[in-house]
Amino acid sequence: MILLNRIIISFCLLTGLFLDLSAQETSGSQEAQYTEIYRQTEALVGVNPLLRNGVYYEDFYFNAEGHPFFTDEGYLAGSVTYRGQSYEDVKLRYDIFSHQLLILHDDGKEIFENYLSVEFITEFTIAGARFKKLLAGDEQEGFYQLVAGDERLLCCYHWIKSRSEDHEGNYMKYVFGEQRARRYLLMEGELKRYRNNRSFLKALPDGVRSSTRSYLRDHKLKVKKADDGRMQELLSFITGRLTQDPQ
């Protein structure tokens, strides 16, 4: 609502400014007039107004044990593609309990935070991790961290947190668990969940299953516990085999 009021006020003021500039006899060019209008608009509605147009954040978990956010409770450096436009160097928090993305605004005049509308987010990065909205197979649409692989075979994680209630007399507080990843392979538009080496191998095409089984054994690799670096090495090996034998 605040942003809408600003836009209405801006329209009225800047329309008057444009008419005033147009009526004046000046040696300045039309480009200078447009520059002045842009400057006035930015001063009134702020930089990147689309990112500011969302529900304001209210902290319902101020007395909670733990927090609902990915990696860290504080704001982290990142980027976001929103309504088809990319924005770099923004401050984000990703709520992995409700799967909402928060952005922090600080223009030197005011500080506030709001939710970005999920339907307009294509992808974002936070704390070095890249997330993309996916809808594949029978899985629910959501944001998945792209961990390793390429367009032929992707390893991706869907991060979650549990929330419970702790009651002590008339007092109640929320308790958040540790963040956990549901692990998937994405191939030909289908997300296949895996939980261990056996289900990982089952999700792969027949032509690379045997060689991947040998790779896991030789490298003593457990996919459930492997870090991102080791998963990237594993997916590079598999996609290399897919190139040699697509089936």
Residue spans of the domains in the chain: they are 2-45
Task: Determine which helix (DSSP H) or strand (DSSP E) holds 179, and give its type and residue range.
Answer: none
Residue pLDDT, tens place only, 112-171 = 899 999 999 999 999 999 999 997 656 668 999 999 999 899 999 999 999 999 988 788
pLDDT at residue 4, rounded to an integer: 43
pLDDT at residue 111, rounded to an integer: 81
| Nearest by Cα to 236 from 212, 220, 209 | 212
pLDDT at residue 20, rounded to an integer: 52
pLDDT at residue 185, rounded to an integer: 95
pLDDT at residue 32, rounded to an integer: 59
Residue pLDDT, tens place only, 11-43 = 444 444 444 545 554 545 655 554 454 444 444
More confident residue, 10 or 95: 95
- Say whether pLDDT at 105 is over 60: yes
Residue pLDDT, tens place only, 48-65 = 566 766 677 788 888 899
pLDDT at residue 3, rounded to an integer: 45
